[in-house]
Structure 1
Amino acid sequence: MARNAVSVPFEADRDVPGLIVKFGDYPLHHGGVGAIRSLGRLGVPMYAITEDAYTPAASSRYLKRAFVWPTTGAEEPDHLVEGLLRIGRRIGRPTVLIPTDEEAAVLIAEHQDALGDRFLFPRVDPELPRRLASKQGLHELCVEHGIPSPAAAFPDSYDEIADFAEKARFPIVAKNREAFVRRKQPAVNGTTRIATREGLLALARDWGTHPGVILQEYLPREEAEDWIVHAYFDADSTPRALFTGVKVRSWPPHAGMTANAYVVDNPELADLAARFIKQIGFTGIIDLDLRFDRRDGQYKLLDFNPRMGAQFRLFESEPGVDVVRAMHLDLTGRRVPEGEQRTGHRYVVENIDLPALLAYRRSGYTTPHAPKRPSGTELAWLAGDDPLPFVTMLARFVRPGAKHLYQLWRTNRRGSSNATKQAP
């Protein structure tokens, strides 16, 4: 059943609102709705930047006001900073910023001085979030600090790609080097599996004189497991809330956002994440994707999102703390209660899990760590105490959403011989 309002053994500061900060056109964002509900159920006044007045987030009973501000994420930083400050003046009191994408997280980090008088947010090395969101920057940090990651190359020309193709062991994976290119003209659509040398060279002809791609070792899903870590780290890079789980299904299959996941205890993985964060000195919310490679017994870090992940509501401690609540408590000077994570809990994104389930059954792929019977289920959209976001999602999703799912599926199927979508 969907999780509704519950009592918790702590109180949030209801005089400090929260603001969901998102740049770009993706109105069906369940993570933002989850954050609005999470703090709103504690009595925290919630605000959100939305594409229009009819998004699921804007319809939540826990949202005090939606600030309609259509953006692409490619605007000049000064324009976005001024827009945030203008919203801050309208709210009229110090407000916790909750970024839901890399553009917002990087903008806040790189303009801390300008935003700091009006907003509350974790203070971090201004250059670190951009580096972590970059595939190349993350790979370099992993090498520097001894964190396992897939072998990778970063070609700067077609000739370098051709040289790589002569030596590479196929299949390989191609990704966009920088996180923000999805707002512009990405070289590849997401994570792309390339099966042959000929397939790589054919694709590379369209990447221009300066290909912004990373060519990475392919980790076959038959020999691997997808794990996720969500956490909040304080100003000393100490974890105040840290959770581990497994991704059961995603959409597009093996390549997209989480559609179904479980909370699974993994002390080794938790220690790896905490150690890495301490080494790089990060503070704030993190969302990590790792793949356990059974061939060498290593957890390899694939993606580092320096902000709240869309599926963060999968994770909650026994006292009722999730990463968004932990951040709000910490930034307002309140103690973050300690407690074990709700092992066995399940998270389901209703509008994408059904097609994902059908696709995974066809492929025969299973996740060995998923419990047979979940201890509880958190639905991304449906909640008994806040039903309108689910209704709004359905209204906006049914026709264009079904067409989009079909297009994603066709993209995934069409290139199976040379280049296909594949798990990161």
Structure 2
Amino acid sequence: MEKHQAVVLGSNYYIGLSTVRCLGKMGVPVTTVDYNQEEAYGSYSKYVTSSLIGPYYKEDPEGFIDYLMAYGKKQERPPVLIPTADPYVEMVDRYWDRLKTVYLLPDIPQGYLSTIVDKDRLYAMMKEGGILVPETLEISEDNLYKKVREELGYPCVVKPVDSHSFVKTFRKKLFKVQNEQELTEAIEKAESRDLKVVVQRIIEGPDTNKYTFDAYVNASGRVSHCSSFHLLRLYPNDYGASVYTEHYYNEDIFDYGKKILEDIGFKGFAELEFKKDENNGRYYLMEINVRIVNFNTLLEKIGLNMPYILYRDLTGNPLPPQEVRETKNRVFWYLYEDLWAVRGYLKSGEWSLKEVLGSLMRPKAPAIFDWKDLRPVLKYNGMMAKKIPKRLFKRNQ
């Protein structure tokens, strides 16, 4: 039994649930922290030692941090703090120096994670290092429409700097615009909600041109554990989250990804998302995620238990380095959202029914289902039984 507590922020989504399972299976005592017990289905896992309900971090950020600090100070040893969703990452990053006095966190400066998440600052940093990123224009630039027309071309996308706030407001990750009028309307929509956006060239190609490099950078600043993956289906289509992803060794991005993370001084877990341009065959860095990712269960299945790797490194007993460079026949599958994704792909013709059915024959790493830990599954299914009819009704209106 491991001695340090792991405090997992957010168990109302399958990323939190998979984090709990990855730690609990290895004998780590796990505490979950949420603000609403009703939807925190991950907290029902048999691997949870204690489940806490604290202040809502958005309504009372100081109260939330005070709550975490008070809990951490009660523990015999400093707990490992693991945020599993972007809003928790932002909150922890904002109070990093304070939280570090009680919790075990990677040795990076306060505010560093926000720099990586902010697309403007990330792209500027990448350009300085000679890393390919999509051509992007600030909406405050002189002659914006002329530059969009000549440098980016239509269609193009209007993307947020703060993805989480944008998705919460508009229920989509970006606006795809076909002409100058639509560009104006998209910018005005974002500005009316005080959301900062940029205009970006579309990297041509289907969703299957997207790949990720997932890695843990240890306390010495070296990539110690890593592999690459191939995104097959996203929801929403084109610019959504991965709902059907395969393990795939992509030698074109493997060492490239390692170098990027080590050069920028990152520490902890990170995922680099690349898209291969259909026209020139080059890989563009689209974004960097700095939390445990959607297909965490797939990472575990191929031998990279990222939450436990992080836990062992931060508690001073790191695991031996491991790079998975051979492709393993396993896919991540989030059944619920993949059903909606497939609906869109069939409609667009990007996937045929035969291709979809064929893809489902492969060994899977499910997002939620686990025979050995059924309580969260039953809780989740109960929630979905209420939500799905409402969603179908809205779609049919």
1:420 alignment partner in structure 2? none
Distance 2:393 2:264 in 1: 41
Give the TM-score normalised by the residue count of structure 2.
0.88
AA in 1 matched with 2:51: A
The count of residues paired between Structure 1 and Structure 2 equals 389
Alignment of 1:218-233 (within 5 A): 218-222=202-206, 225-233=209-217
Aligned pair partner of 1:386 in 373, 378, 382: 373
The 5 Å alignment of 1:277-316 reads 277-316=261-300
User: Does structure 1 conserve the Cα–Cα contact (< 8 Å) formed by 2:243 and 2:333?
Assistant: yes
1:315 is paired with a residue whose SS is helix
Matched, 1:248 2:220: no
Query: What residue number does 2:328 align with?
Result: 343
2:383 corresponds in structure 1 to 396
Alignment match, 2:304: 321
Distance 2:317 2:104 in 1: 14
Cα shift at 1:90: 4.6
| CA–CA distance in structure 1, aligned partners of residues 98 and 184 of structure 2 | 45
> Is 2:259 aligned against 1:275?
yes
State the partner residue of 2:51.
66
Matched, 1:204 2:192: no
Distance (whole Å) between structure 2 residues aligned to residue 71 and residue 256 of structure 1: 26
What is the deviation of 1:255? 2.3
Residue in 2 that maps onto 1:9: none
- 1:182 Cα deviation (Å)? 3.8
TM-score normalized by the length of structure 1: 0.82
Q: Deviations over 1:101-152 (max 9, x none)?
A: 2333244344333222321111113232111101111111111111111100
Equivalent residue, structure 1, for 2:135 = 151
Kindly indicate whether structure 1 or structure 2 has the higher relative contact order, using CA contacts under 8 Å at least 6 residues apart. Answer: 1
Instruction: Give the C-alpha shift of residue 189 in structure 1.
Output: 3.6
Corresponding residue for residue 357 of structure 1: 342
Matching residue's letter, 1:335:
P
* 1:125-204 superposed matches below 5 A: 125-156=109-140, 161-167=144-150, 168-182=152-166, 189-204=172-187
Check 1:14–1:254 CA distance in 2 against 1; reply closer, same or farther (3 A cut). Answer: same
Distance 1:265 1:406 in 2: 42
For 2:273 and 2:391, the matched residues in 1 are separated by: 24
Alignment of 1:75-94 (within 5 A): 75-76=60-61, 78-94=62-78
Bigger proportion of residues as helix: 2
Shift of 1:86: 2.1
Residues 118 and 28 of structure 1: is their aligned pair in 2 closer, same or farther, counting only changes over 3 Å? closer
Matched, 1:15 2:3: yes
Unaligned runs of 5+ in 2: none
Computed over aligned residues only, the root mean square deviation of the Cα atoms, in angstroms, reads 3.0
Q: Residues 405, 176 of structure 1: CA spacing in aligned structure 2 closer, same or farther, 3 A cutoff?
A: farther
For 1:300-346, what per-residue CA distance to the aligned partner results, in whole angstroms no more than 9, with x for missing partners? 1111111211222211375x332111111111222313445362211
SS of 2:300's equivalent?
A: coil
The question of whether the paired residues in 1 share the 8 Å contact of 2:214 and 2:270 is answered with yes
Deviation per CA, 1:49-91: give whole Å up to 9, x if none: 1232232112111111111125254644x44322211232355
Distance 2:100 2:206 in 1: 47
Instruction: Report which stretch shifted further, 297-306 or 373-382.
Output: 373-382
2:37 aligns to what SS in structure 1?
Answer: coil
2:189 match: secondary structure: coil
Contact 1:73–1:183 under 8 Å retained in 2:
no
